[in-house]
Amino acid sequence: MNASYTILYGMISTICRPDTRGTLFFFAAMVKATALLAIQGLGGYLYGNLNKQDPFILGFAIWVAFTFISLMMGVKGKLN
């Protein structure tokens, strides 16, 4: 997931102006941090209230989805 996110950084930085890249990277880091807090909260809820394997299954499903998307983008020539 982190590799896909880093690739997205690179793709976006090539289309934005050089004076706005810092703002873009700051905003992207804030979105990532907020998403991590939400995922940790959801994982804690799943671990504590449902099944102890559910957060790991959810994490694996997210990883598979991001890997599949990255592979398809590579096959279609969208990644350099």
Contact (Cβ atoms closer than 8 angstroms) between residue 27 and residue 13: no
Note if the pTM is more than 0.75: no
Q: How far lies 18's CA from each of 8, 23, 52, 74, in Å?
A: 16, 10, 46, 26
Any idea which residue has 């793709």 for tokens?
Answer: 11
64: pLDDT confidence band, cut at 50, 70 and 90? very high
| 12 vs 21: CA distance, rounded Å | 9
Per-residue confidence (pLDDT) for residue 5, from 0 to 100? 67
pLDDT digits (tens, 9 = 90+) for 13-47: 777 777 777 777 788 788 888 888 888 888 888 88
Res. 65: pLDDT tops 80: yes
Mean pLDDT of 51-56: 86
Q: Which residues contact 11 (CB under 8 A, 6 or more apart)?
A: 79
